[in-house]
Amino acid sequence: MIENQSHWIEHLDNRVAFRNLFGGNSPSLERLRLVQVVIGEIGDFHVSLTFCELPETCLRRWVVTGNDSLQLRLSFYDLTKLAIAGGVQEGNLDVAASFGPENQFAISSRQFNVELIYGQVKADLYPFNSAIFEEPLQWYRR
């Protein structure tokens, strides 16, 4: 795994919006649930990761509206390296994610690892109530 940086938001192309959402802090990417990995068009990689609880610095309106979890959806473009090792038999997997220097990104667990080098990365956040949320199909196609 790449050395985890506490300010991973600074690696995003849409970092300004994310800084505002979290009050200048970056939630830890250490304990996430890997929900979806999609290898899209040539040079595209999309990953859906869920925070099992809302980060402490989240927007108050997310809590007030009944949300208890947050999904981070990352879309990487212009890949120059993609390495995937391991696999998952069934269900979601607990992972750690990290951004590194020179546009490196990694997802790691004992069973599954991804390393990539990208040209651009964009992120989206989706707060949800885990009791009623269902993963939408093909979320990355808009």
Q: Smallest Cα–Cα separation from 120: which of 61, 87, 83, 74?
A: 74
Return the structure tokens found at 70: 């947050």
Residue 88 inside a domain? The answer is: yes
DSSP 29-95: -SSEEEEEEEE-STTEEEEEEEESS--TTS-HHHHHTT--EEEEEEEEES-SEEEEEE--SSS-EEE
Beta strands across the sheet bearing 120-128: 81-86, 112-117, 104-108, 93-100, 32-39, 44-51, 69-77, 120-128
Residue 134 inside a domain? The answer is: no
Residue 142 inside a domain? The answer is: no
User: Please, are residues 78 and 120 in contact by the beta-carbon 8 Å criterion?
Assistant: yes
Q: Smallest Cα–Cα separation from 141: which of 95, 75, 81?
A: 75
Range of the domain at 32: 8-128
**Backbone phi, then psi, for 102, in 5-degree steps?**
55, 45
> How confident is the prediction along the chain (142 residues), in pLDDT tens digits per residue?
444 445 899 999 988 888 878 777 788 899 999 988 888 877 799 999 998 888 877 778 888 988 888 899 999 999 999 999 987 766 678 999 999 999 999 999 998 999 999 999 999 988 888 888 665 555 544 4
**Angle value at C-alpha 48, between 133 and 138, nearest 5 degrees:** 75
Residue 22 inside a domain? The answer is: yes
Dmax over Cα atoms in the chain, in whole Å? 42
Instruction: Supply the pTM of this predicted model.
Output: 0.86
Residue 73 inside a domain? The answer is: yes
Residue 108 inside a domain? The answer is: yes
Residue 136 inside a domain? The answer is: no
Residue 140 inside a domain? The answer is: no
Domain count, the chain: 1
